[in-house]
Amino acid sequence: MKILALNCGSSSIKYKVFAWGKQEVLVEGQVERIGIADGCVSHEVALKQILKELPEIAAVGHRVVHGGEKFKSSMLITPEVLEEIKKVKDLAPLHNPPNIEGIESAQKVWPKIPHIAVFDTAFHQTMPEIAYTYAVPYEWYKMYGVRRYGFHGTSHLYVSRRAAVMLKKPVAETNVITMHIGNGVSIAAIKNGISVDTSMGLTPLEGAVMGTRSGDIDPGILLFMIEKEGFYADQLDNILNKKSGLFGITGKYMDRRDIYKSAEAGDQRAQLAIDIEVYRLKKYLGAYLAVLGKLDALVFTAGAGEKNWKLRERVLEGCEGLGLVLDREKNRVAKSHEVEADISFPGSQSKILVIPTDEERVFIEDVVAILENRYDVHTKFTYSFERPDYQRTK
């Protein structure tokens, strides 16, 4: 059985074809500049181009960023399910519309095979009310769904389950903090195997400092800047999502490689950006330690989490009193997107792990399980990567 994992962004499509029987990736790639000059005119045209490169497939798994409260697990996309996804598109205006366009285009290109939605928000639907409720008029929640949802769910699910394997503990007895640090950044507190809090909120804008997103700010800043500059909602949306974060602080860089290089050359704003990011990550680490009470492991994942040893070292400076003691030599050699590593010093009360994420693996396994009628919500479902003998597919 060959499964296509599809991730449709506003101007790009990432894809991977997985042969379930052979447990191997057959094809993977990316189409960019969709709807932009010199690129494909639409997702449908791009998918037709991709189709020429693909073997015959049995099903498609679609990444859907926001599922609202309706979806607590991956779902076969029926007309009713697609309509419900469209109802919550206002909760993720930058992400859900291209996800929806990708689904509709793929259904036209592959009309006779099943299409399954895999939701970024589903993993965090276990959060208690005290964690997901904002201190704003409660009617906003009842009328418009204003609450914390959380994102990067497939990544947090994958690495937390792999952490349990590395710790040789049952998932249901494992407490971990997972730090997904890429261009987008989110942290999750996972208690007894389930998400109890996470840094992103109603949208992926809340939380840690990110490549171009502000993360946590005083809401009064928006009112202040509206008064000073007369900004409209779409202008503020663009500034907070695309011109803030590391890019906003440095004024020119969103890629951490450029920022670290510039800081080493004496750029004070680049150094400030590094210091602010580290400080914010430390604050979340401390907060989630308090939430969990007992920590089995801290997990770093995603692009910078997996490869930026300097960032990890800075985040963990001074955390020895919290039971997190870093082995600096192990940390400096752990910079692979393929190899899992324990970078904690012997005797560290809590383990410090680097686990490369594999969100597509979650996509594939959810799709296959749905097709074979054995799927369940993630709190009751066991993935193949939870086995001690599991080998990551390259």
Mind listing the pLDDT tens digit for each residue in 135-152?
A: 999 999 999 999 999 999
Pairing of strands 2-8, 13-19: antiparallel
> What's the pLDDT tens digit per position in 191-247?
999 999 999 999 999 999 999 899 999 999 999 999 999 999 999 999 998 899 999
Q: Binding site for Mg(2+): residue ranges?
A: 7, 359
**DSSP state string for 75-93:** EE--HHHHHHHHHTGGGST
The catalytic site residues sit at 120
- The three-point CA angle 304-5-303 to 5° equals 5
> What percentage of the chain has pLDDT greater than the value 70?
97
Q: Which helix (H) or strand (E) holds 49?
A: helix 43-51
In Å, how far from its chain's centre is CA 211?
Answer: 14
Instruction: Give me the phi and psi of 31, to 5 degrees please.
Output: -115, 130
Q: Which residues are annotated as a binding site?
A: 7, 14, 63, 180-184, 255-257, 359
**Largest pairwise CA distance in the chain:** 61
At residue 36, the pLDDT reads 63
Confidence of residue 160 (pLDDT cuts 50, 70, 90): very high
pTM of the entire structure?
0.93
Residue 219's identity, in one-letter code, is: P
pLDDT of residue 10: 62
User: What pLDDT is attached to residue 335?
Assistant: 87
Domains of the chain from N-terminus onward: 2-119+360-386 (3.30.420.40), 169-354 (3.30.420.40)
- DSSP letter, residue 40: -
Looking at residue 59, what is its pLDDT?
Answer: 95
- Residue 122: pLDDT above 90? yes
* Residues contributing to the annotated binding site for substrate: 63
* DSSP track, 257-316: HHHHHHHHTT-HHHHHHHHHHHHHHHHHHHHHHHHHSS-SEEEEEHHHHHH-HHHHHHHH
Ranges of H-type helices in 59-193: 79-87, 96-109, 129-132, 138-144, 153-167
Which of these, 94, 97, 73, lies nearest to 85 by C-alpha position?
97
Question: Which of 315, 302, 95 is closest to 202 using CA atoms?
Answer: 95
Per-residue pLDDT of 24-71, as tens digits, reads 889 888 887 776 666 677 777 887 788 777 888 999 999 999 999 989
- Residues contributing to the annotated binding site for ATP: 14, 180-184, 255-257
